[in-house]
Amino acid sequence: MAILEICTYPQKVLLERAELITDIDQEVAKLAGQMAETMYNAPGIGLAANQVGVARRLIVADAAPRTLESNLVVLANPEIIAAEGEVTSEEGCLSVPDCQAEVKRYEKIAVRGLDLRGEEVVIEADGLLAIVLQHEIDHLNGVLFIDHISRLKRDLFKRRLRKNMAKREA
């Protein structure tokens, strides 16, 4: 196992649509394990494959990472098949460091995807897990949480992120 490097805005892999996974093979299982380890280490509650530089449709999430029982969700090719309600909460992102903003999401969702055995699963989620799953599925479509906020605030964040990056590269 290994901790992977997390890509940050404005790296291109975060802004593009990730590819469908056609085969759940050893490589996908290994990537999922490394993504989970990277997420817990960060620490974070969700991670999409393109956040670690892999443009494939794979996400991991754990909305209760501090409980003893593992609540780890791993899904390939996740898609929202039903949604209801509306909830606004503060979000952040490992790929958009030092930025938080209120984002409006569906309150409850049903997500269909493939597990690591390649079997179709449907996860019904509400609360924090519903928000995390929407955030991660957005990633696979090249969408960041800052794309959901006001343009003014987004521009402010983007300027800040570019400045931080310039500082790191200097």
What distance in Å separates the CA atoms of residue 93 and residue 106, rounded to the nearest whole number? Answer: 18
What distance in Å separates the CA atoms of residue 24 and residue 86, rounded to the nearest whole number? Answer: 33
Q: Are 87 and 93 a contacting pair, CB within 8 Å?
A: no
Residue 103 sits in the site that holds Zn ion (CB under 5 A): no
* Window contacting Zn ion (CB under 5 A); options: 66-74, 85-93, 100-108, 117-125: 85-93
Residue 59 sits in the site that holds Zn ion (CB under 5 A): no
Residue 93 sits in the site that holds Zn ion (CB under 5 A): yes
Q: Are 141 and 15 a contacting pair, CB within 8 Å?
A: no
CB nearer Zn ion, residue 31 or residue 93: 93
Closest-by-Cβ residue to Zn ion is: 93
Residue 14 sits in the site that holds Zn ion (CB under 5 A): no
Q: How far is the CB of 36 from Zn ion (least distance, A)?
A: 15
Q: How far is the CB of 93 from Zn ion (least distance, A)?
A: 3
Q: Which residue has the tokens 């593009």?
A: 16
What distance in Å separates the CA atoms of residue 66 and residue 52, rounded to the nearest whole number? Answer: 23
Residues carrying an active site annotation:
136
